[in-house]
Each structure stands twice: as structure tokens, then as C-alpha cells.
Amino acid sequence: MKISLIVAYAENRVIGKDNDLIWHLPDDMKYFSHTTKGHYVIMGRKNWESIPAKYQPLPERTNVILTRNSDFTIDNSEVIVLHDLNKAIQLAEDNGEKEVFIIGGGEIYREGLSICHRMYITEVRGSPEGDTYFPEWNKSEWRETSRIHHTADERHQYSFDFVIYDRRG
């Protein structure tokens, strides 16, 4: 099974502020939805809480929430709450998943970066202020396999690239 990570980050690696996104990029949201649909998505509790209620759980995906809080529960049969990233990945594999997606936030990305095989990164051209960052990573360990540019326009404040990186070796 392929372990993938999907994220949008700015040139300064900012991914969010005040538990929210810092930009409105509709085509990136469409890309995220298209890429992750039909798969398991693993997210941290704060990331789950940042998703507007009308989109919870993320449709057409198996939503897995990771938390250290053993008392945390969600009254939704479509959501799985676990306390360990490796158990979440094992659950996806045991259920026949071909590609599982780690979708954030910052702490979950930090933990997942060392074990993922592929990264889908939306590289946003800009350096907005934020309080949550994507971890630093060594580009020499990765091979860029795809890049699609998107210019800024009336619907997108920033230009950005959809980039796929595969781990070398």
C-alpha cells in the first residue's frame, strides 16, 4: 500500500493560522477532493475541528482522526477515532486500501513525513503569516514526478503549482 501525504503550503512552509486555512484556492480544494476521494484520509483532531460542519465527514472517503485524548469521541459512524498513526495506516491496509492519505495538520505531517512514499504538494507562491507549518524536508530524498502550474486569477489570490514528489529508492 502506498502512504501519501497531501498538503498546500506557502514559500515559508505556512499551512494555516488560528486552526484555519490562510487562503481561498478553489482549484486546490477541487484537486484535494479529486485526489483523495475513495481513499482513507488520516487527520489530526485539530484538523478535523477546522473542517466546516457541513463537510464533516469528508464525503466519499473513510475519515480517520488521530488524537492523544483517549476520551475524545465523535458521534458519527462514518468516522474512526484512533490514537496512533501506524494503527491508522494498518487499518487502511487491512481493509484493502491501495493508497492512504495523510492530510494534516502540522503534527501529523511531521510524523508522517518519515514514512510516506509520495507527497502531493500544492506549492503556493507567497509567504503569508501563519502559526502552523509544514515540516522541513530534504528534497534530495525525493524525485519530482509531476508539476502543473496555476496562475493567480480572479478566484485565486496566489499562483501555485501542483507538484508530486516520490521518495527515491
Question: Omega before 57 cis (within 30°)?
Answer: yes
pLDDT at 44: 97
For residue 163, is pLDDT > 90? Answer: yes
Q: Which domains does the chain have, with CATH numbers?
A: 39-98 (3.40.430.10)
Cβ–Cβ < 8 Å for 109, 13: no
For residue 15, is pLDDT > 90? Answer: yes
Comparing 99 with 19, which gets the higher pLDDT?
Answer: 99
Comparing 37 with 19, which gets the higher pLDDT?
Answer: 37
Q: What letter represents residue 133's amino acid?
A: Y
pLDDT bin (cut points 50, 70, 90) of residue 157 is very high
pLDDT bin (cut points 50, 70, 90) of residue 88 is very high
Region 134-152: mean pLDDT is: 97
User: Phi then psi for 55, rounded to 5 degrees?
Assistant: -105, 5
Beta bridge partners of 144: 165
CB atoms within 10 A of CB 46: 17
For residue 77, is pLDDT > 90? Answer: no
Region 108-118: mean pLDDT is: 97
Mean pLDDT for the chain overall: 96
